Every structure is written in C-alpha cells, then in structure tokens.
Structure 1
Amino acid sequence: MKAQETKLQGCFILEPTVFEDERGYFFEVFNEKKFAELVGYVPSFVQDNESRSTYGVVRGLHQQRGEHAQAKLVRVIQGRVLDVAVDVREGSPTYGQYVSVELSEDNKRQLFIPRGFLHGFAVLSETAIFSYKCDNFYNKESEDGVFPLDETLNIDWQIPREKMILSEKDKNARKFR
C-alpha cells in the first residue's frame, strides 16, 4: 500500500497493492500496522457504513461536531464517485480549502479523512456502492453540514447542476460563511 498526503494535512489518498491473475484480484482493504506506518497513527474504527446511490446523487457536505467528531476511511466497492473533504479545523492554514479525488472500483483508492473535516461525494457512474469506516459512533444531535453547492467553496462536483440529486436536508443546509 502507498499513501500520499493531500494538501490538507492529515488527509491521505491510499492506494493498495493489488494482486491480479486469471482468477481475479486480491488486496488488503485495511491493515492496522501498515496504516500506522503510512499515516502516523491508527484511529480505532468502531462503525462501518455503506450506501448505494445512482448517477447525479451528491451526498454531503456532512460532519459530526464536538465529542462525536469522526475520522473516516472511505472507498468505493462498485462504480465511481468524486469524493470531497473540506478542512474546517479552526486555526488550520488550509481552513475552507478542499481536496477531491476520484474513487472507483477500478482504482481501488481510499481516502482517509481525519476529524475536523466536512465530507461528501458525487456519484459519477450509473450506480455506486460507497463504504466507509468511522472512528466514532453517529450521534444525531452532533450532525452538521454545509450546502454542497456553496459559492464560497466553489466545488466542482463534475455533475451538471440540473442533473444533481440532493436530499432536502442538503438543499437546506447552511452556507459555509
């Protein structure tokens, strides 16, 4: 496995070593020892989540605040998405900046997003199955979010606006500023 730190400190793109032959492929999705070597620490993951979505769905930008903040290790099992992390750590030199990376069943990349980030993704394929590990349990009272089409962030979701599908919660989320 290889890791590349993004411009947002603590946020890493992870690329597995894939072994392929005529039978198919094999790779380690997660190895605690290797993860610690590459990222510098290992969160204690306590919850795995999975969603299935269709083309044009934009989920996010979401986070858990305070003691319920979550680090996430995200990947795509089927299809392809544009995954986005926005730094909202107070005092961070990259506050308000984002990274986006295409995650797909073909490239098998993962994105590690530490606590203190908004997170979202847009489905670029006909359907996508998205999976992620969290280092803290979901808490409804601690959920927060920002409108994914906020002009201040100016995220290129790679989906024409008229084809985007947003939940009512995301449509009504607050502005970044």
Structure 2
Amino acid sequence: MSDIQWKLSGVCHKFGDDLRHNDGLIDAHFASDRIFDPAVLAPRTLELVRPGFSKAVKPGDLVIAGQNFGKGKAKIQGYIGLRALGVGVLSESMPFLAYRGAVCAGLLFLTDCTGITELVNDGDRTEMDFLTGRFSNLTSGATAQYEPLPDVLREIIAVGGSNGVLRNWWQQRQAEREALAA
C-alpha cells in the first residue's frame, strides 16, 4: 500500500467511555474556526481532558478508549491532531461520524475492540498491528485479536486520508491530460 507504519509500539494512554470530540479531543473553536493545520492542532489535542497530553505522548503510542470515542459533533480536527502526534487509536466503539473523521484524517485506528480497556492500564507498554488486528500488552502479557479495517479503508488511510485520495486522483488526471496533449 504505502510506507505507512502499520505496527505501532509505545505507551498506552487510557481513556474511559464517552470521550467527546468537541471540547474533549480538541477545543470546539478549532472546528468552528475551520483550522486544519496539524502543527496548530497537535499541541491542543486531548489537552482539555488531560493537560500535558501532547507533551507526554510519543509517536507509536496508543490512545485506548472505551465506548463512544469521539461522540458528539465530530469534525476532523481532533483526528488530524492525533495523526500529527503519530499515535494510533483503539476503542470499544465510536459513532459513525467519528469513524468517518478518523478515516478522512488518515488516522490509524480500530474500533469494536471489545474489552480493550480491561486489558490495559495507563502507562502500559503496548503494541498494535493494524494490518492483522493483533494487540499485545507488553507490560502484562495480555493479548487480543480484533478485526482489522477493510482493505478499502486501509488504502485511504495509507495515502493520508481523503486529501491524499483527492491529491492522487488529481495528479493522475493531470498526467492523463498531459499525455493526451502530447
């Protein structure tokens, strides 16, 4: 697909159920002000619910959450911020609009990870292979197998989300026009 790192290994950042998108994942004003710059969004991601999160998180870490991850008026900004931080997300469930936002942002994530919050504590060393669905808690030794995303969604994530799909389409279209003109 691409050179995207499908296997993440890092620290678990555990959150509970009902983590809201607006004023949870990200300040609501970033969505209303239509801010999409990853460099602006990353330092503010999850800061309202866990001050210092963006400084504590490292690429490869996993955000592990309970049910209804990203509930409410889901916009793409929180998922852009998570992607810019280099983390992956595992949740027990997420609403459709949150799911769509994660795919569109090109975020590595899985949902329907039943019981995932029972397998981890905040700060555990974890590993997730997003291609196979294999999860490992390296601290406790617990493992689980989850259904990976369908190939078509992984292809969208691999090119950077919906912007990557459109960019690739446009480049292909331009190349075809140039070939016809030659």
TM-score of the superposed pair, with normalisation by structure 2: 0.28
| Structure number with bigger Rg | 2
Q: Identify, as 1 or 2, the structure richer in helix.
A: 2
Structure number with higher relative contact order (C-alpha < 8 Å, ≥ 6 residues apart): 1
TM-score, normalization by structure 1: 0.28
- Which protein is richer in strand relative to its size? 1
